[in-house]
Amino acid sequence: MEIIAASTEQLLADFESKINAEIKIEPRDWMPEEYRQNLIRQMSQHANSEVIGMQPEGNWITRAPSLRSKKILLAKIQDEGGHGLYLYSAAETLGVSREELIQALHEGKAKYASVFNYPALNWADMGAIGWLVDGAAITNQVSLQRTSYGPYSRAMVKICKEESFHQRQGYEIMWRMMEGTKDQQQMAQDALNRWWWPALMMFGPHDSDSPNSTLAMKWKIKRESNDQLREKFINKTIPQAELIGLKIPDEHLQLLDNETYKHGDINWEEFWAVIKGNGPCNQQRLEHHIRAHQEGAWVRETAIESAQKNKI
Amino acid sequence: MEAKENQGELWEVFLQTKPGQAFKHVGSVHAFDKNLAIENARDVYTRRGEGTALWVVPSKEIVAVTANEAEYFFEAADEKIYRHPTFYSMPEGVKNM
């Protein structure tokens, strides 16, 4: 078989014509190095978020108010571990190893969603996280099902199928509390007050302040901009809040027409402070992950020994 | 970057969703041996009764044709259009064909 080497210009032109024709890029296809790096950054951030996101909720497994809610919470957290694995595997198809991905997280070189650096103070937070944080994540992930990279797109399809229960379980918790005593209603409202703004920040900076986005949009890694996705999220979430009697903690919120809202100013100083490591739980989250990883070393060592023995 | 630790080999996971259907690639897992590979595949890919049967295969054992080679590799079939039923002309009114 004879393969004729093509020039980089030709390869780039072929690559871009595939992108324009909505043909997915697969691991063995030629791709520009910037596309590969951009994907590794975004997908590892996404995978790390799933795994670090297990912590605020894991904190409440032993204190769930009923066996039903405990089983549900366990299943949700297990899903998040699974979603992290789908995404790490998808990132590995780009030639980066699992070990490197974990190491970059531990060294602070790879990020995770800054929303998980906020603490989960009480049971109502389990409601707010499922409803708002998973709700925001789903809005983003539905859009990413159409991302141009095949393995990432397939992981998103699978994750979206599984995540709709996550948001429902959170909203159900909020609803039950709003149907309960005055104290329970106040707990639900407090949790909304604390999680609303961090949830809006999950979509990232305004489009005008998001330099990474241009290339990601051109090559269809991202399909909708930060502001477009944020708008979708608030438009569907505000009526859900109103339905159960919750008040959105934004005094500048405007209803533009029947279905469109405009939110007040986001505190970007807080956003950048949390990203830079100064959120309430940054250190705790990372230290916990490193500790759990180190404490699991014996499991890996035993498995290697056992595999060796079985070979003989 | 040096890899400091061993997280196992990569295995590809194939799932049959219902008896009688073809196995379909669903993703991959890391594992140290075949027993762990099939258990990890169960935990990662079948938490909701997605399958009735499961295969795992070491990724390094898979032989693949790359996208760059595909055009040349599959070229031979392009010329054999008589392999498709639509190639043949049929008399008007023929039935059960």
Query: Which token pair is A277?
Result: 């490591």
CATH fold of B9-87 reads Ubiquitin-like (UB roll) (3.10.20)
Return the pLDDT at A19: 96
Predicted complex ipTM:
0.81
The phi, psi pair for A18, rounded to 5°, reads: -65, -45
Return the pLDDT at B68: 74
Query: Which token pair is B89?
Result: 């002309």
Return the pLDDT at B1: 39
pLDDT in tens, B45-84: 999 988 899 999 999 999 988 777 888 898 888 888 999 9
Inform me whether the C-beta atom of residue A103 falls under 8 Å from chain B C-beta atoms: yes
* Mean confidence (pLDDT) of chain B: 89
Query: Which token pair is B87?
Result: 């190639």
pLDDT in tens, B5-43: 788 899 999 999 999 999 999 999 999 999 999 999 999
Return the pLDDT at B3: 45
Find residues 17-76 of chain B whose CB sits inside 8 Å of chain A: 26-33, 36, 43-44, 47-48, 64, 66-69, 72-73
One-letter-per-residue 3-state SS of chain A: CCCCCCCHHHHHHHHHHHHHCCCCECCCCCCCHHHHHHHHHHHHHHHHHHHHCHHHHHCCHHHCCCHHHHHHHHHHHHHHHHHHHHHHHHHHCCCCCHHHHHHHHHCCCCCCCHHHHCCCCCHHHHHHHHHHHHHHHHHHHHHHCCCCEHHHHHHHHHHHHHHHHHHHHHHHHHHHHHCCCHHHHHHHHHHHHHHHHHHHHCCCCCHHHCCCHHHHHHCCCCCCCHHHHHHHHHHHHHHHHHHCCCCCCCCCCEECCCCCEECCCCCHHHHHHHHHHHCCCHHHHHHHHHHHHHHCHHHHHHHHHHHHHHHC
Query: Which token pair is B69?
Result: 């080679």
Query: Which token pair is A279?
Result: 């959120």
Closest CA to B69 of A12, A11, A1, A26: A1
Return the pLDDT at A240: 97
Rounded distance between C-alpha atoms, residue A247 and residue A260, angstroms: 17
Alpha-carbon distance A146 to nearest alpha carbon in chain B (angstroms): 18
Rounded distance between C-alpha atoms, residue A129 and residue A77, angstroms: 12
Return the pLDDT at A6: 76
Return the pLDDT at A45: 96
Inform me whether the C-beta atom of residue A165 falls under 8 Å from chain B C-beta atoms: no
In chain A, where are the structural domains located?
A: 15-311
The percent helix, strand, coil of chain B (3-state, each to 5) is 35, 25, 45
Rounded distance between C-alpha atoms, residue A292 and residue A55, angstroms: 11
CATH fold of A15-311 reads Ferritin (1.20.1260)
Return the pLDDT at B2: 42
Report helix, strand or coil for B9: strand
The pLDDT tens digits along chain A (312 residues) read: 455 667 899 999 999 999 999 999 999 889 999 999 999 999 999 999 999 999 999 999 999 999 999 999 999 999 999 999 999 999 999 999 999 999 999 999 999 999 999 999 999 999 999 999 999 999 999 999 999 999 999 999 999 999 889 999 999 999 999 999 999 999 999 999 999 999 999 999 999 888 777 889 999 999 999 999 999 999 999 999 999 999 999 999 999 987 899 999 999 999 999 999 899 999 999 999 999 999 999 999 999 999 888 876
A281 CB-near residues (< 8 Å, 6+ apart): A56, A116, A117, A118, A119
Alpha-carbon distance A7 to nearest alpha carbon in chain B (angstroms): 13
Alpha-carbon distance A82 to nearest alpha carbon in chain B (angstroms): 5
Residue B63's H or E segment, with its range, is none
Chain B residues in contact with A102 by the CB 8 A cut-off are 7
Answer yes or no: do A1 and B66 touch at CB < 8 A: no
Chain A residues in contact with B1 by the CB 8 A cut-off are 100, 103
In chain B, where are the structural domains located?
A: 9-87
